[in-house]
Amino acid sequence: MTTNAENSEPASLATSELGGKAIDILAKLVAFPSVSSAANRDAIAYIADYFGELGASVLRLPSEQAGKENLWVTFGGSTDGGIVLSGHIDVVPVAGQDWHRPPFVLTLESDKVYGRGTTDMKGFVACVMAAASQIDSSRLKRPLHIAVTFDEEVGCHGARELVAFLKRTGTRPAAFLVGEPTGMAVVDRHKGSVGFTTEIAGKAAHSSQIHLGLNAIQVAAELVGFLMSLGEKQKGGRADEAFPYPYPSINVGSIRGGGVRNIVAPVCAIDWEVRPILPGQLNEIREAFSEHVRDKLAERQRWGGLVPEIVTQLVYDTPPLIANDPSEARNLALQVSGRNQTLAVSYGTEAGIYQEAGFATVVCGPGDIQQAHTADEWIEIDQLEQCVAFLQRLFEHCSDI
Ligand SMILES: [Zn+2]
């Protein structure tokens, strides 16, 4: 951690002892440059050792992906019906961003701390670690679990492996609280985010003899047009005003194809994404696209001309989080936070994966999503304070006091 004044107390601006402890831990977490492309083993080892010293049962769960691990921590026995506090340790890259502070050194200024991951979402993990120092396992009425996952930012691979681990071991927690930044509001709805890549293989030919080739860019352009019209069609459905864009959306984010002007482009690929509000909407869009591709290929076959090869791959699938009241996660988070309503947010999280796997899940964590992924990412110290206070109340709620 660095501070503006040398030798000043790092956590001097924190208003509580646990808040100060959370900032000290956050400094250690930020110092691991755990961007999604890198191994996270060192950061996981640090967190695992920390919880081990507190007397928790700690399971490091190595992935088949080299250097990547999930962490599963349990306080208070391994019966069903536990509460899971879940966060990811990977962060988005800093390359190409205009940082004015060192991204992997926690910098404390005024009422904020700066550094990559402070908001998204090492701040939450640090709060859980700090607050966990007060857990008395012998008094817990139900288990408290902490899940730390990898690769949230690049497709939630860690969360999927965690779900597989829970199924394999027959572990059935009652509720998941995912600590992505919500300003500590209780969020029980968000859109999904599902990525596809469609690759088109045509046939190269000299541009003086286009009749001998099959232009993959031309085929891609027609498919892009279809996707755009499919997106427009979604506006015919019910508007869900909880979201700034109140319909499922389709976006083509990238197109790569061809090579030179005078060659008929033999290959082209499009990266596109669907953001469904409800799971059925994704299936409808997928099916409409597949049907369109089938029709187009059949049409070309009937003409007797060259037929392109069109292959669509699912790149990532983060399902939507669907309001499900009364769920145990929702009731618990509202009760402990003292709030009386839940909110919807536009961004995706791992929560939809846990819900899809059958676990009641809400999102509730410190910080403002506007800060996530930005240069000079920061979190207000007050948000960390609110989070540790929330966690203390949660732990009390799970204990016999
Ligand atoms: Zn995140």
> Which tens digits make up the pLDDT trace of 58-79?
999 999 888 999 999 999 987 8
For the CA atoms of 334, 335, 340, 346, the dihedral, rounded to the nearest 10 degrees, stands at -10
Least confident of 37-41, 218-222, 258-262: 37-41
d(CA 380, CA 196): 36
The domain 2-190+320-397 is classified under which CATH number: 2.60.40.1180, 3.40.50.150, 2.60.40.150, 3.40.630.10? 3.40.630.10
> What does the pLDDT read at residue 209?
97
> What does the pLDDT read at residue 13?
61
Question: How many whole angstroms from 181 Cα to the centroid of ligand 1?
Answer: 8
Q: With a cut of 80, say whether residue 273 has pLDDT above it.
A: yes
More confident: 10 or 112: 112
> What does the pLDDT read at residue 3?
43
Question: How many whole angstroms from 182 Cα to the centroid of ligand 1?
Answer: 11
More confident: 324 or 161: 161
Same fold, 2-190+320-397 and 193-318: no
Which of 69, 120, 151, 152 is flagged as catalytic?
152
Q: Can you give the C-alpha Rg of the chain in angstroms? A: 24
Question: How many whole angstroms from 212 Cα to the centroid of ligand 1?
Answer: 49
Mean pLDDT of 302-317: 94
The DSSP code for 319 is P
d(CA 301, CA 295): 10
Q: What is the pLDDT of residues 110-139, one digit of tens each?
A: 999 999 999 999 999 999 999 999 999 999
Q: How far is CA 374 from CA 75, 91, 94, 114, 125, in A?
A: 35, 11, 8, 11, 19
> What does the pLDDT read at residue 282?
95
Question: How many whole angstroms from 112 Cα to the centroid of ligand 1?
Answer: 19
Q: With a cut of 50, say whether residue 389 has pLDDT above it.
A: yes
Q: With a cut of 80, say whether residue 242 has pLDDT above it.
A: yes
* Confidence label for 276 from pLDDT (cuts 50, 70 and 90): very high
The alpha-helical segments, DSSP class H, found in 234-365 are: 279-303, 328-337, 351-356
Q: With a cut of 50, say whether residue 267 has pLDDT above it.
A: yes
Q: What is the pLDDT of residues 144-177, one digit of tens each?
A: 999 999 988 888 889 999 999 999 999 999 999 9
To 5 degrees, how large is the angle CA 106–CA 112–CA 117? 45
Average pLDDT over all residues of the chain: 93
* Confidence label for 5 from pLDDT (cuts 50, 70 and 90): very low
Does the active-site annotation cover 17? no
Burial of 200 from C-beta contacts in 10 A (0-12 / 13-18 / 19+): buried
Which of 90, 120, 153, 350 is flagged as catalytic?
90
Q: With a cut of 90, say whether residue 279 has pLDDT above it.
A: no
Least confident of 9-13, 125-129, 260-264, 381-385: 9-13
> What does the pLDDT read at residue 15?
79
> What does the pLDDT read at residue 78?
77
In 3D, which of 375, 372, 365 has the Cα closest to residue 107? 375
Contacts of 326 (CB under 8 A, 6+ apart): none
In 3D, which of 250, 266, 249, 247 has the Cα closest to residue 258? 266
How does DSSP assign 192-252, residue by residue? -EEEEEEEEE-B--BGGGGGGSB-HHHHHHHHHHHHHHHHHHGGGS---TTSSS-S-EEEE
* Confidence label for 304 from pLDDT (cuts 50, 70 and 90): confident
* First-last CA distance in the chain: 37
In 3D, which of 109, 105, 82, 142 has the Cα closest to residue 27? 105
Domain ranges of the chain: 2-190+320-397, 193-318
Q: 3-class DSSP state for residue 25?
A: helix
> What does the pLDDT read at residue 401?
52
Question: How many whole angstroms from 76 Cα to the centroid of ligand 1?
Answer: 27
Does the active-site annotation cover 152? yes
* Confidence label for 6 from pLDDT (cuts 50, 70 and 90): very low
Is-cis flag, bond preceding 228, omega within 30?
no
> What does the pLDDT read at residue 4?
45
Question: How many whole angstroms from 127 Cα to the centroid of ligand 1?
Answer: 15
Is the domain spanning 193-318 CATH 3.30.70.360? The answer is: yes
Question: How many whole angstroms from 372 Cα to the centroid of ligand 1?
Answer: 8
